[in-house]
A and B are shown apart, each in its own frame.
Chain A
Amino acid sequence: LAKTTQPISMDSYEGQEVNITCSHNNIATNDYITWYQQFPSQGPRFIIQGYKTKVTNEVASLFIPADRKSSTLSLPRVSLSDTAVYYCLVVGAGANNLFFGTGTRLTVIP
């Protein structure tokens, strides 16, 4: 199970682009990088998943360099409603124990 390291907290102003970086030095060949978002009093919600290079969906982009030892979640033009905890996970196919860690607490400031 590859361990991940991400900042404990970040602040950003509304309308800015936010980049949250996650380190996963021991990622294995078959592992995927997955990000979840959690609002207070709710369960985590899947945001995006990728294996290499760049993945984009309607919510975020995920950038993964060639060595895959880190990844960056990019949230374009954040709003107050993006205030949440963001978790980076490295997951292997067939794995059962998904390690969530403490995540990054993003606070968007008006």
Chain B
Amino acid sequence: NAGVTQTPKFQVLKTGQSMTLQCAQDMNHNSMYWYRQDPGMGLRLIYYSASEGTTDKGEVPNGYNVSRLNKREFSLRLESAAPSQTSVYFCASSADRGGSPLHFGNGTRLTVT
């Protein structure tokens, strides 16, 4: 039982390049989330998917797109990377919204030069 798996673990991009961060969970959870964490700061929600087939914007969605490919997978895409998107990205899942505990992956450390 792997929980939440994120790939890649590390990535370096040049400004303007694009990439997709992958996330998969094996807990049959309905809800999935993408957060970013900047040094010394808390986590900020980028996008979430309350259930398969739905996605919604979080606190900081600009510059990102998401796809809930199926119940297991939720990907985050940067179409044109900017230095301000240098961060650690965490994917999480929960059985349902709200009170259900979140289960996090170990993050993707992204640097944009």
Instruction: Give residues in A with beta carbon < 8 Å to B.
Output: 32, 34, 36, 41-46, 49, 87, 91-103
Bound: A101/B59 CA distance, A: 12
Question: Does B82 sit within 8 A of A, measured CB to CB?
Answer: no
Chain B residue nearest in CB terms to A47: B101
Contact A42 B42 (CB under 8 A): no
User: Please, how many angstroms separate the alpha-carbon atoms of A99 and B102 in the complex?
Assistant: 12
Given A41-B106, A42-B107, A96–B101 Cβ distance below 8 Å?
Answer: no
- The binding surface of chain A is classed by DSSP as loop
Q: Is the CB of B43 within 8 A of A95?
A: no
Whole-angstrom CA separation of A90 from B2 in the bound complex: 28
Contact A42 B106 (CB under 8 A): yes
How far, in Å, is A104 (CB) from chain B's closest CB? 11
Residues 34-85 of B contacting A (Cβ, < 8 Å) = 35, 40-45, 48, 50, 56, 58-59
27 interchain pairs, CB-CB under 8 A: A32-B98, A32-B99, A36-B102, A41-B107, A42-B104, A42-B106, A43-B90, A43-B105, A43-B106, A44-B43, A44-B90, A44-B102, A44-B104, A46-B103, A93-B98, A93-B99, A94-B97, A95-B97, A96-B58, A96-B98, A97-B48, A97-B59, A98-B102, A100-B43, A100-B44, A102-B41, A102-B42
B21 within 8 A of partner (CB) = no
Q: How far is the CA of A41 from the CA of B106 in the complex (A)?
A: 7
B92 in the interface (beta carbon within 8 A)? yes
Interface positions, chain B 2-35, Cβ under 8 Å from A, are 4, 31, 33, 35
Query: Are A101 and B42 CB-contacts (below 8 A) given A91-B99, A96-B56, A96-B97?
Result: yes
Q: Which residue of chain B lies nearest to A97 when distances are taken between CB atoms in the complex?
A: B45
In the complex, which of the residues A43, A49, A95, A99 contacts B104, with contact meaning CB atoms closer than 8 Å? A43
Find B92's partner among A42, A43, A49, A91 (CB 8 Å cutoff). A43
Determine the distance from Cα of A78 to Cα of B43 in the docked complex, in whole angstroms. 25
